[in-house]
A = this chain, B = another copy of it.
Amino acid sequence: MKCFKCDSQAILRIKRHKATLCETHLVEHLQNQMIKAIKKFKMLPPNEKVIVAISGGKDSLALWDMLLDRGYKADAFYIDLGIDEYSKTSMEKAQSFAEKVSGNLYTISLPKLYNTGIKEISRNNPRSACSACGLIKRYIMNIFAKYGNYHAVATGHNLDDEASSLLGNTLRWQTGYLSRQSPSMPSNNGLAKKIKPLCRLAEKETAAYCITKNIDYILEECPMAQGASSFDYKEVLNNLELKSPGTKDQFYLDFLRTAQPYFKSNKQDITLVKCPTCGEPTSQDRDCSFCRQMKSNQLDPLKVKEEISGFFK
């Protein structure tokens, strides 16, 4: 199988793009897909600074790599959640990648700040560990964007992530989420702009990218996410994709193009006020979710802001 752009041996076939790609053109093609998403969804003007939330996994490392390769001013941050071996390994991957690309990586560590990890902090969350973890991560993203003066926070969500999240929202017809789900969430009243430049790339494509570019990433999924329904939705979509290539792409991109406008009428601008404890935006007239989560564990929520603001002094 030859590359569709040159005579070299192809290493990956992307059926929905009708493309067979050699190493060189795979890298080019996937980066072009990222640029296409950045432009289409107005994610990032070329001269603006962006900060990438990296986990040590393939998607976020590939994203940081692509942004740097394409000349974006991209820094990164890593959150050590204190999940035993998983956090140890993923932090090593994140840090050695940063060294390799001479990138600016900030690390914030829950064990160092609080002498405890996400497992303990999330124990009293009425929903799930993933829910508590998500709210802590989103909080930290906003603080980084604010003190570091970044135009946006970029996450490594890929097409599989976005399509499976869409499927979950669709199976329950959560019209609020359906009106908001976007690869480019504008900044709003002190909340940072959040962008997903890899939303056009499938999971196996970011993996192929890392292998091709010799990016060493953590293979394991987070041990705390076991049994998450997103895995079921991904499996469903992968099976349908196998039978009908392009299903995932069509489902997600046609949603944004064709169906989401119908739900926009449901979009209510949420009024944000300042959290009485940390001063960050919150939709409720009391402590924000982050402060409540930390306080419920007798932890000082302000330590996170102090730590991050210190990076940029």
24 examples of A-B residue contacts, CB within 8 angstroms = A170-B170, A171-B240, A171-B247, A171-B250, A172-B250, A172-B251, A172-B254, A173-B250, A173-B251, A173-B254, A173-B255, A173-B258, A175-B258, A175-B259, A175-B262, A178-B259, A229-B243, A229-B244, A232-B239, A232-B240, A236-B236, A236-B239, A236-B240, A262-B265
> Is A266 an interface residue, CB under 8 A from the partner?
yes
How many copies of the polypeptide does the oligomer hold? 2
Q: Label chain A's interface by main secondary structure.
A: helix
Q: Which residues of A pack against B, CB within 8 Å? A: 170-173, 175, 178, 229, 232, 236, 239-240, 243-244, 247, 250-251, 254-255, 258-259, 262-263, 265-266
Q: Give the distance in Å from the alpha carbon of A75 to the alpha carbon of B138 in the complex.
A: 61
**In the complex, residue of chain B having the shortest beta-carbon distance to the beta carbon of A264:** B262
Taking CB atoms, residues of chain B closer than 8 Å to A229 are 243-244
Taking CB atoms, residues of chain B closer than 8 Å to A259 are 173, 175, 178
A265 CB, min distance to chain B CBs, angstroms: 7
Taking CB atoms, residues of chain B closer than 8 Å to A171 are 240, 247, 250-251
- Contacts beyond the supplied A172-B251, A172-B254, A262-B263: 13 A-B pairs with Cβ under 8 Å: A170-B170, A171-B247, A171-B250, A172-B250, A173-B254, A173-B255, A173-B258, A175-B258, A175-B259, A175-B262, A232-B243, A236-B236, A236-B239
Contact of A266 among B170, B175, B262, B266 (CB under 8 A): B262
